[in-house]
Amino acid sequence: MGMDIYDAYFEIIVKDNEGTFLKLFPRKDNGSDIDINKVFKTLESKGLTEYNADIIKESVKNLEDEKEIKISTSIIGNVNESFEINISKDRLEAFIRFFPPIGNGEKITRDFLISELDKKNIIFGIDIELINQIIKNKEYYKDYIIAKGKKVIDGIQPEINYFFSLNLDGKPMVNEDGSVDFHSLNIINNIKKDDLLAQLIPGQEGETGTDVLGNEIKPKKIKPMVLKYGKNVRISDDKLNLYAEKDGFVIVEDDKIVVYDCYEVAADVDSSTGNIVFDGTVIIKGNVRTGFTIKAKGDIEVYGVVEGATLISENQVILRRGMQGMGKGIIQAKGNLISKFIENSTVKVGGYIHSDAILHSNVTAKGEIIVEGKKGMVTGGEVRSGVEIRTKILGSHMGTITNVAVGIDPSVVDEYNQINKELIEIKEEMNKMDQIINLLKTRQIKNGTLEPDKIQMLQNATRNKIFLEGKLKTSNRRFEELSEELENKNAGRIKVMNIIYPGVRVTIGNVKYFIREEQKYCSLYKDGADIKIASYV
């Protein structure tokens, strides 16, 4: 196999009765220039000691085009065909370049060439077929790849693919409009039970190579790798996959993959932490600042004060120092709420509430609401329980309007009010459809036809009316069911261990009662269509 010549090169030409000439060939592209010392050395090796060195230097220095120069009147005698062998730096290729004989010089034989290769220790990957070809027919001053080694094939190192982020930078999220949301920081890798956490891709051994000198080229060693894991993580039988044993968050700790079902913040929830969204329990050792949100699949427990923040839990919420919501605070929990106090906040829970004081807040619980302790006070706002409200003080001596309701699941009341609102909206929308339909039909009768866009409008209005009629029927049925449920609810009590002040509005079931005089140590309950006041029991 021949290779194109990019380096500059020279050829010695002997002309009878004229002398010795050099034919110079310039380099191509990024090839190398002629080495002037090599020229002198070659001439002297051929027995030519008298030559014009200056013209050679000048011609080589300014060589741009192919040229022939006379360098001596002397004539070189017979010189045999010759060659030079070079080996690439990586020893994976051996090149041979032939030089023509001069005069009646002899040509190189196959056996001589092979013996010369052996002398240079070129013993692997020799192209015998190429040698046979170039012995018969060759191009001079052209490189042939006479031998090729076998390239080493490096193995593939094992690697671990992680199915969670390893670089939680905690940087604020940039919104589409370019604004920066300092509440949304990327600090938690939430995962669910049985999620794939990491996968080990086994390595593959490489293949040994051989250079043209017969030396083995060893592939890079494969480094052994195993999956390391800790708490709440399991490994597959083939040791190649790691899975979460629980809902929670995943981290790499001491080179081990670990899952925790409880996320703890040692200080405040603020701009340094951003909002917390976690699939387990969240414990906050500090305060929760205004404007921030905590969402948890498990419990939320806060050791400090919660300001105008939002807490959403699929289990229970525990506030050791209470909530000063400043009119912005929100708590939503499917379980219970235990809070030192609740002030200027909106609370909705699916279990019970236990607090020392509820002040000027909108509070709803399916279970009982117990307000005891040193203060034991419910003042202002609206407090609703599906079962019972128990407190020391209800209302205030200043006559603060305080609404309390028991006996009906607050969620049922909310649904009742929502459907009532929807019924009004549906009827209004149906009236609009009737107006459109009547108007278009009147026009159709008058003109005998309608424009295509008006026909489409009539069809749309008719379809919407049919849809609204079905929706009205369904909503009416549900509204009647809820009305009956509210009508028949007689259970529920309000118990006051100390005093009820005027200004308190009591609702038990569907019956309302206004407190106009102070009442002490009493219990309020529904009896038929009335609310009765009895001694505290």
**Residue pLDDT, tens place only, 222-242:** 888 999 999 999 999 999 999
Chain-wide mean pLDDT for the chain?
A: 88
Note the pLDDT of residue 175: 59
Rounded distance, CA 27 to CA 306, Å? Answer: 81
Tell me the pLDDT tens digit for each residue of 395-440.
Answer: 999 999 999 999 877 777 788 889 889 999 999 998 998 898 898 8
pLDDT digits (tens, 9 = 90+) for 73-123: 888 878 888 888 999 999 999 999 888 888 778 888 999 999 999 999 999
Q: Which of 72-81, 245-254, 369-378, 409-418 has the lowest mean pLDDT?
A: 409-418
- Per-residue confidence band for 354, with pLDDT thresholds at 50, 70 and 90: very high
In this prediction, residues 505-533 reach a mean pLDDT of 89
Of 164, 94, 97, nearest in space to 134 by CA = 97
Q: Which of 95, 75, 264 is nearest to 187 (CA)?
A: 264
Is the pLDDT at 50 greater than 90? The verdict is: no
For 187-220, give the DSSP string: ---EE-TT-EEEEEE--B--B-EE-TTS-EEPPP
Predicted structure pTM score: 0.56
In whole angstroms, what is the distance from residue 272 CA to residue 292 CA?
11
3-state secondary structure 371-401: ECCCCCEEEEEEEEECCEEEEEEECCCCCCC
Helix (H) or strand (E) run with residue 52 in it: none
Tell me the C-alpha to C-alpha distance, in Å, between residue 475 and each of 303, 427, 485. 45, 11, 15
Alpha carbons 32 and 140: distance in angstroms, whole number: 18
**Cα distance from N-terminal residue to C-terminal residue, the chain:** 109
